[in-house]
Amino acid sequence: QVQVVESGGGLVQPGGSLRLSCVASGSRFSAYHMGWYRQIPGKEREMVGTISPSGAIDYAGIVKGRFIISRDNAKSTVYLQMNNLQREDTAVYFCRVLDALRLYWGQGTQVTVSS
């Protein structure tokens, strides 16, 4: 069982920045395929960005150029740097761990973009 814990959410004004962190337990972190997803009430969860064990990165088109995903294997942590945040980025952000064929999710962290 992999424990997944997100942090770093909060309230930010439009145009501001936040950095989310996600720590995943286990000795196999460097082999995990990591991802950030988000969900707005009443809508399906959507992919924001993913990073493979080799460092290959994929972003949703709507965040490309504004968000940066990265990982620090020594700290078992994946980050999501979010810049130029817009009101439509308001959502609960979830960290996802893919370990072989097993999927794990964190509890989520709320990001609210509002003036």
User: Stretch 11-20: mean pLDDT, rounded?
Assistant: 98
At residue 95, the pLDDT reads 98
pLDDT digits (tens, 9 = 90+) for 22-35: 999 988 999 999 99
Class of residue 111 by CB neighbours under 10 A (exposed 0-12, middle 13-18, buried 19+): buried
The confidence score (pLDDT) of residue 87 equals 97
